Amino acid sequence: MGKEGRVSVGIVGASGYGGVQLVRLLMDHPEVELVYLGGDSSAGKSFADIYPHLAHRVAQPIESVDPEAIAARCEVVFLSLPNGFACDMAPQLVDKGCKVLDLSADYRFSDLETYQIWYGKQRQDIAVATKAVYGLPELYRDRIAESQLIGCPGCYPTASLLALAPLLKQGLIVPETAIVDAKSGTSGGGRQAKTGLLLAEADNSFAAYGVARHRHTPEIEQVCSDLAGHQVLVQFTPHLVPMVRGILATVYATLRDPGLVREDLITIYRAFYRNCPWVTICDSGIYPQTKWACGSNLCYIGIETDPRTGRVIVLSAIDNLIKGQAGQAIQCLNIMMGWDESLGLPKLGFYP
């Protein structure tokens, strides 16, 4: 245990954007102590070499990744690695008694075959994977509370599922009509240098990518199917927005009862999320801007109905790196530890 009775926490993969959010957020968390920063490619550097703006606050070095040593020092381990790495390391950490929160796709799928098809890696850790819980607290809070291993959701699925859940859970829509047209800032692409994510390429431009084949599709469908009680296919299209942070998901679906108006749905959504401190349903006629959510763990949801077409349109905005990634992982940790769900998380961003 850390000093002053704090829980000792480590981060594997600290140098990426997920890692630096975790570092930043955990520094403000009153119940944890950050005792380990790991990353093979950056091992030996100081964290400040990679993020100089933190030089006056973070003195720790990046250490090499040795699960045995990590487990000896950390009660909680966040894994913020590319897909396909966590599944080689988590079993050992779980076995040593660590609570593990994985930010990659490795532990998001209850059906590992789906994982293997979409991510192309054979899995040896079936027994451990079976115990993993999908870390979307608004839907799986109770299971998260009792789990030792969390597969934290992708950024797009978080925004998409929070928009779709009340509709599917309550049978308000025809599930197969669901379309998610999602838009993300470029930080979602990570910190590795790729030509398409250069400012010179991506700024002042807008485009779709991964149309009809993005890997977040099966993740969205898994939860939608769980909510609907039968298998659901969802049309999911991601786009790149010339901005740093934020996701907006625009969700379309045909209402079973075209007589429902937006005020009805706002009431239903507010009831559905009444115990969820991180979901805010906008007033009638208000649609969220991604910027509202940036720098906070909030998800803003706006709702509209179109009586002409019988559809509902739901708009869901999050900060892709906080509620869509690191903040949500800490929200899960709070629940696992029995702490207040909102402990140590930023309640509001700055505007403008």
Q: How many residues bind its own copies (CB under 8 A)?
A: 87
248: left (phi over 0), alpha (psi -120 to 50) or beta: beta
The type of residue at 139 is: L
Q: At what angle do helices 155-169 and 262-272 cross, to 10 degrees?
A: 110
Which of 202, 220, 223, 345 binds its own copies (CB under 8 A)? It is: 202
User: Is residue 59 close enough to count as binding its own copies by CB under 8 A?
Assistant: no
93 versus 234: smaller Cβ distance to its own copies = 234
Query: How many angstroms separate the CA atoms of 73 and 67, rounded?
Result: 10
Q: Do residues 297 and 316 lie in contact, with contact meaning Cβ atoms separated by under 8 Å?
A: no
Supply the minimum distance, in Å, between the C-beta of residue 196 and its own copies: 9
What's the CA dihedral at 333, 317, 294, 103 to 10 degrees? 40
93 versus 173: smaller Cβ distance to its own copies = 173
Residues between 60 and 89 that touch its own copies (CB under 8 A): none
Which of 80, 290, 297, 334 binds its own copies (CB under 8 A)? It is: 290
207 versus 271: smaller Cβ distance to its own copies = 207
Instruction: Name every residue whose Cβ is closer than 8 Å to that of residue 211 and which is 6 or more positions away in sequence.
Output: 237
Cα 225 → chain centroid? 19
The type of residue at 312 is: V
Closest CA relative to residue 148, chosen from 22, 337, 13, 6: 337
17 versus 140: smaller Cβ distance to its own copies = 17
Supply the minimum distance, in Å, between the C-beta of residue 6 and its own copies: 18
User: Is residue 209 close enough to count as binding its own copies by CB under 8 A?
Assistant: yes
131 versus 347: smaller Cβ distance to its own copies = 347
Catalytic site residue from 155, 224, 294, 332: 155
Give, as one character, the DSSP assignment of residue 53.
G
Binding mask 293-332 for its own copies (x = CB under 8 A): xxx----x-x-xxx-xx-x-x-x-x---xx----------
Which of 73, 123, 215, 291 binds its own copies (CB under 8 A)? It is: 291
Supply the minimum distance, in Å, between the C-beta of residue 68 and its own copies: 31
Supply the minimum distance, in Å, between the C-beta of residue 287 and its own copies: 5
Supply the minimum distance, in Å, between the C-beta of residue 286 and its own copies: 5
Give, as one character, the DSSP assignment of residue 45.
S
Please indicate whether residue 155 is annotated as part of the active site. Answer: yes
Which of 179, 260, 337, 343 binds its own copies (CB under 8 A)? It is: 179
Which window, 65-73, 126-134, 138-146, 203-211, contacts its own copies (CB under 8 A)? 203-211
Q: Do residues 184 and 238 lie in contact, with contact meaning Cβ atoms separated by under 8 Å?
A: yes
Which of 99, 183, 214, 323 binds its own copies (CB under 8 A)? It is: 183
Q: Which DSSP string corresponds to 65-108?
A: --HHHHHHH-SEEEE---TTSHHHHHHHHHHTT-EEEE-SSTTS
Residues between 231 and 250 that touch its own copies (CB under 8 A): 233, 235, 237, 239, 241-246, 248, 250
Supply the minimum distance, in Å, between the C-beta of residue 217 and its own copies: 8
Q: Which residues of 276-305 are buried (b: 16+ CB within 10 A; e: fewer)?
A: bbbbbbbeeeebbbbbbbbbbbbbbbbbbb
52 versus 131: smaller Cβ distance to its own copies = 52
Q: Do residues 331 and 346 lie in contact, with contact meaning Cβ atoms separated by under 8 Å?
A: no
Supply the minimum distance, in Å, between the C-beta of residue 132 and its own copies: 26
Which window, 76-84, 105-113, 132-140, 202-210, contacts its own copies (CB under 8 A)? 202-210
Q: Which DSSP string corresponds to 298-322?
A: -EEEEEEEETTTTEEEEEEEE-TTI
| Active centre residues (catalytic) | 155
